Amino acid sequence: MGLDDRKLAVLRAIVEDYVATQEPVGSKALVERHQLGVSPATVRNDMAVLEEEGYIRQPHTSAGRVPTDRGYRLFVDRLSRVKPLSPAERRAIERFLVGAVDLDDVVHRTVRLLAQLTRQVAVVQYPSLARSKVRHLELVPISTTRLMVVMIADTGRVEQRLVELPAPVPADDVTDLRRLVNEKLVGSQLSETPPLVQALVDESAPHLRPAMTTLSTVLLETLVERHEERLALAGQANLTRGGLLDFQGSLRPILEALEEEVVLLKLIGETEPSTTRVLIGDENEFDNLRAASVVSTGYGPGSTIVGGLGVLGPTRMDYPGNIAMVRAVARYVGELLAQN
């Protein structure tokens, strides 16, 4: 069990070399490229131990070693050194994000930026509605029995929904409805609205009741139950880098998983605030993504978290680099949101 410093150094060297070359790394190449101060034979002995402990494995008898998921995990937890961003990368981030005109724009720019910087698939979750506060509710009459409800959240998200009213409602009543819902709901956290919405119905004047009832149902549906999470995705083409070696030859399962919003949300949806999360290989719960790793973190204005973002790629990825990028981008986006 005792992994002394040199064995750890060997593991680190294996991970770094394998990530860089994408080829199983042998003992001789290792001592040549790293200053380990010992002979290949010694390294081989260390490798035998590392293999026994499950940190590396041999694709076939006469090949070099490749890290296992467990090996990557150890590497990420204890061996990787933080990789500071290059000035060029820093500049790229800034340049990319200035000039964004609205939330959609911010999210799209961010996801493309992340994909470009990390050369992986990037995912950005829109600010979660549950973590947003209502800034304004607008009711726009489409016809006498139809209303479009537009909700503007403080995070910049705008959601709309068509409401079919049970009976025609005159314009004045719409004005009243608008005033009422805004008075009650503006400023409140969306996850806490259900009782407020209920109260709305109870407190409204009798002639507004039927309309308000329908309206409240829709509000609850849109805002709470069918909690509308949205995502942006970019960089799928990066999956094809590294030939067909990664992902054991088939992109199929990966592409399928990427089409499932639920899956992506589980992967990058933030859990504990402000931690960067790394899921390696089968640590995630989806069979389709056994061969993939995910680096994700939360973002938001200031120290609050309103959504998640991250990248997905082969287990053989540059963890320190990607972690640094994901963090940096999240921080910049947070600052950007704070300005609004």
Partner DNA sequence: GCTGGCACTCGACTGTAGCGAGTGCCAGTC
Partner DNA sequence: GACTGGCACTCGCTACAGTCGAGTGCCAGC
> Phi, psi at residue 45, to the nearest 5°?
-60, -45
Q: Is 95 exposed, middle or buried (0-12, 13-18, 19+ CB in 10 A)?
A: exposed
Q: What is the largest CA-CA distance in the chain?
A: 89
The answer to whether residues 93 and 331 touch, using CB atoms and an 8 Å cutoff, is no
Would you count residue 28 as binding DNA (CB under 7 A)? yes
Torsion angle defined by CA atoms of residues 201, 207, 210 and 211, in that order, rounded to the nearest 10 degrees:
-90
294 bridge partner residues: 279, 312
Would you count residue 336 as binding a copy of itself (CB under 8 A)? no
Would you count residue 145 as binding a copy of itself (CB under 8 A)? no
Nearer of residues 6 and 34 to DNA, judged by Cβ: 6
Would you count residue 258 as binding a copy of itself (CB under 8 A)? yes
Would you count residue 138 as binding a copy of itself (CB under 8 A)? yes
Which partner in a copy of itself, DNA, none is near 161 (CB below 5 to 8 A by kind)?
A: a copy of itself
Would you count residue 236 as binding a copy of itself (CB under 8 A)? yes
- Please give the single-letter amino acid code of residue 285: E
Question: Of 85, 158, 263, 328, which one interacts with a copy of itself (CB under 8 A)?
Answer: 158
> Phi, psi at residue 239, to the nearest 5°?
-65, -25
Would you count residue 53 as binding DNA (CB under 7 A)? no
Site string (204-223) toward a copy of itself, x via CB under 8 A:
------------------x-
Q: Three-state DSSP class for 17?
A: helix
Q: Which residues bind DNA (CB under 7 A)?
A: 6, 24-29, 37-42, 44-45, 47-48, 51, 58, 60-65
Q: Which residues bind a copy of itself (CB under 8 A)?
A: 101-103, 135-136, 138, 140, 142, 148, 150, 152, 156, 158, 160-162, 222, 234-237, 239-240, 244, 250-252, 255-256, 258-259, 340
